[in-house]
Amino acid sequence: MKILLLGSGGREHAIAFKLQQSTLCKALYIAPGNAGTKECGTNVDLNLKDFDAIKEFCLTQNINMIVVGPEEPLVLGIFNYFAYDEATKHIIVIGPSKEGAQLEGSKAYSKHFMQRHKIPTANYAEFTAENFADGIAYLQNHALPIVLKADGLAAGKGVVICKSINEAVEEFTQMIQSQKFGSASAKVVVEQFLDGIEMSVFVLTDGKNYVLLPNAKDYKRIGEGDTGLNTGGMGAISPVPFADEGFMQKVIARIIEPTIHGLHTENIVYKGFVFIGLIKVNNEPYVIEYNCRMGDPETEVVMPRLDNDLVELFLHTHKNTLHLVNIQHSLKHACTTVCVSGGYPGAYENGFSISNIDKIKDSKVYHAGTKESSNQIVTNGGRVLAITTLAETLQDAVATSKKNASVIEYQGKYFRNDIGFEFQ
Ligand code: AMP
Ligand code: GLY
Q: What is the pLDDT of residues 1-18, one digit of tens each?
A: 999 999 999 999 999 999
Cα gap 309→314, rounded to integer Å: 9
Q: Which region holds residue 33: left if phi is over 0, alpha if psi is between -120 and 50, else beta?
A: left
**Ligand 2 probe mutation, 217, 291, 292, most atoms within 8 A of CB:** 291
pLDDT tens per residue, range 77-115: 999 999 999 999 999 999 999 999 999 999 999 999 999
> Could you give the 3-state DSSP secondary structure of residue 57?
helix
Q: Taking 80 as the threshold, does the pLDDT of residue 119 lie above it?
A: yes
- Of 156-165, 218-227, 264-273, 287-296, give the lowest mean pLDDT range: 156-165
pLDDT band at 26 (very low <50, low <70, confident <90, very high): very high
Contacts of 156 (CB under 8 A, 6+ apart): 230, 232
Mean pLDDT for all residues in the chain: 97
| Ligand 2 within 6 A of CB of 233 | yes
The pLDDT, as a whole number, for residue 204 is 98
Which ligand is the nearest neighbour of the Cα of 158?
Answer: 1
Mean pLDDT, rounded, for 207-224 = 97
Mean pLDDT, rounded, for 325-334 = 98
Q: How many CA atoms lie within 13 A of 412 on its CB side?
A: 20
Give residues (CB < 6 A) around ligand 1: 122, 147, 156, 159, 191-194, 198, 220, 277, 288-289
The pLDDT, as a whole number, for residue 156 is 76
How many angstroms does the Cα of residue 201 sit away from the middle of ligand 2?
A: 11
- Could you tell me if 48 and 7 are in contact, meaning their C-beta atoms sit under 8 angstroms apart? yes
Cα gap 1→202, rounded to integer Å: 25
Ordered structural domains, the chain, with CATH: 2-97 (3.40.50.20), 123-192 (3.30.1490.20), 197-423 (3.30.470.20)
pLDDT tens per residue, range 254-294: 999 999 999 999 999 999 999 999 999 999 999 999 999 99
- In this structure, the strands spanning 270-281 and 92-96 are antiparallel
pLDDT tens per residue, range 342-373: 999 999 999 999 999 999 999 999 999 999 99
Q: What angle do CA 75, 155, 165 make, to 5 degrees?
A: 115
Cα gap 87→312, rounded to integer Å: 24
**Ligand 1 probe mutation, 119, 149, 161, most atoms within 8 A of CB:** 161
- Could you tell me if 202 and 213 are in contact, meaning their C-beta atoms sit under 8 angstroms apart? yes
Cα gap 262→256, rounded to integer Å: 10
Residue 335 backbone dihedrals phi, psi, to 5 degrees: -135, 135
The pLDDT, as a whole number, for residue 184 is 94
pLDDT tens per residue, range 307-319: 999 999 999 999 9
Mean pLDDT, rounded, for 197-217 = 98
pTM score, two decimals?
A: 0.97
How many angstroms does the Cα of residue 106 sit away from the middle of ligand 2?
A: 16
Q: Taking 90 as the threshold, does the pLDDT of residue 157 lie above it?
A: no
Query: Alpha carbon 80 to chain centroid distance?
Result: 21
How many angstroms does the Cα of residue 159 sit away from the middle of ligand 1?
A: 7
Which ligand is the nearest neighbour of the Cα of 290?
Answer: 1
| Ligand 2 within 6 A of CB of 291 | yes
| Ligand 2 within 6 A of CB of 218 | yes
- Could you tell me if 28 and 40 are in contact, meaning their C-beta atoms sit under 8 angstroms apart? yes
Query: Which atom of ligand 1 approaches the CA of 286 most closely?
Result: 19
The pLDDT, as a whole number, for residue 117 is 98
Q: How many CA atoms lie within 13 A of 373 on its CB side?
A: 11
Contacts of 105 (CB under 8 A, 6+ apart): 71, 74, 75, 152, 153, 292
Q: Which region holds residue 364: left if phi is over 0, alpha if psi is between -120 and 50, else beta?
A: beta
Task: Give, in order, the Cα–Cα distances in Å from 256 to each of 260, 290, 321, 322.
Answer: 6, 11, 18, 15
Cα gap 124→87, rounded to integer Å: 43
The pLDDT, as a whole number, for residue 62 is 98
Ligand 2 atom 2, closest CA: 295
Mean pLDDT, rounded, for 372-395 = 97
pLDDT tens per residue, range 39-73: 999 999 999 999 999 999 999 999 999 999 999 99
Which ligand is the nearest neighbour of the Cα of 275?
Answer: 2
**Ligand 1 probe mutation, 288, 291, 292, most atoms within 8 A of CB:** 288
